[in-house]
Structure 1
């Protein structure tokens, strides 16, 4: 089979439904582009695996749900991500975390996400077909590129997918599903601007020892936490500025815990690539999916420091989780 076919007519687009792919536009940070891609890459990768797609196929990211699409061709879909969501097919509930066959004329509804968790992911067999921009189909909201004209989906958009044979229906075992909660533990490593040069030892203990509230003003650019006054190991930023969180502009890592004065912000996939504030810790790769499921204005987190060996072991576990060979046949 070859070519593409129209698969979805967008009836109701939801809050900010975006076409994304994984891992997005890697290697362009020096040119000012964070990679975009899914904020929860684990749920995203699992959705693609359930419909037989390649790991880099494009799919939909649906914050808060509220998406309705009309199916235009016989195919298969999978919905993964936040709990408390009850997708329906022609009004009948369908389960998350498994392959769901659909036929032309069907209506798929992803209602409001009650949680825990915040984002749903919808993959379709063959992958959503939108133009490649700088090597990726991911929507980069800060730059207005990728996806469907660089924007969120709108009512009346028609999405296409590559024609592929029907995938074998699969289900993710309960033990392999990401666990959603309202009180998260997120793994981090120190730095690049931690103690003793920037934070004090007591500041670091405070960072990993206290509970942080996720601010309502959080999005794909960054997850803001409640303000907190650190002691700092220096009195100012010197030539970089008066506050000790100021530094001469430097590059930012994905998942960096950026301290803008007294406000920590976890940098998301659409975040700034550089700036003049300290990054006191960095979320490890295996912890990034949790940031994507944080509910603004409600959830709380605690940071847990890990070393490199544990970070690598956690990443290997996620590779196992997203491998369809470990799923159950239906």
Structure 2
């Protein structure tokens, strides 16, 4: 945490300076904070530059002319990053960039999180530039899953499209969390997410995570089902009817869903299971009482809360 605090102090204390002089140093130090490799030296063979500053690209214009540009930081299969520095006007790094420069002076942004209109325009233009650079990459390299806009010394914005089509870069992980201020790096969760953007971006794909969670739940429930189905009396008779087992597991799944969307208090079902782990003899009584309360509506002693009536024959 000491290194993180020093990094935050070092960069929040900066006023002015030149974007082109500062961004590479800022991002190199950020890599150390995120525990990821730093960019590599660039080669004159552009196709070998898989993780470099100033990656060259060629824009192909509608009139068949071409223009050269440079990606501030590029990591193949991970991201295109466009850097700006809002505390000074800065200069365009290529003729193509000049076309998207803001047409009015930026208001000096505050240290807080209330942004000026000029700053919003700067960041939106930078996001469009990042997408233009991604589009200019050779088809063989594919579309990167992330576009990153960096306001040097202040924040980073993340946009993701995991489809590989480059048609729907959206705020990631959501509208509230896509903008990471430098102070947010104190959070272990934020640093881990950024670490994955650099090292394993597709692991952040919500569809893959949902599929993994669904598969994991299915596997666990299958084990529970098999355990119950295999139980026998001393004379070899089945203890639990298969239909009742299926109904029991279905009610468990529905209760987990109700907890996740907060139709019942957050973590309430989880706390019941935790109590039952310590005292297994409470399990059937607590779940029965909870499901009766959910079926009729009223006070559920198992979770010590009043619940709504669920019309699902619980």
Judge same fold: TM > 0.5, yes or no: no
Structure with higher RCO (Cα < 8 A, 6+ apart): 1
Which entry has the higher C-alpha Rg, 1 or 2?
Answer: 2
Instruction: Kindly indicate which of the two structures has a greater share of residues assigned to strand.
Output: 1
More helix by share: 2
TM-score (norm 1): 0.23
* TM score, norm. by length of structure 2: 0.23
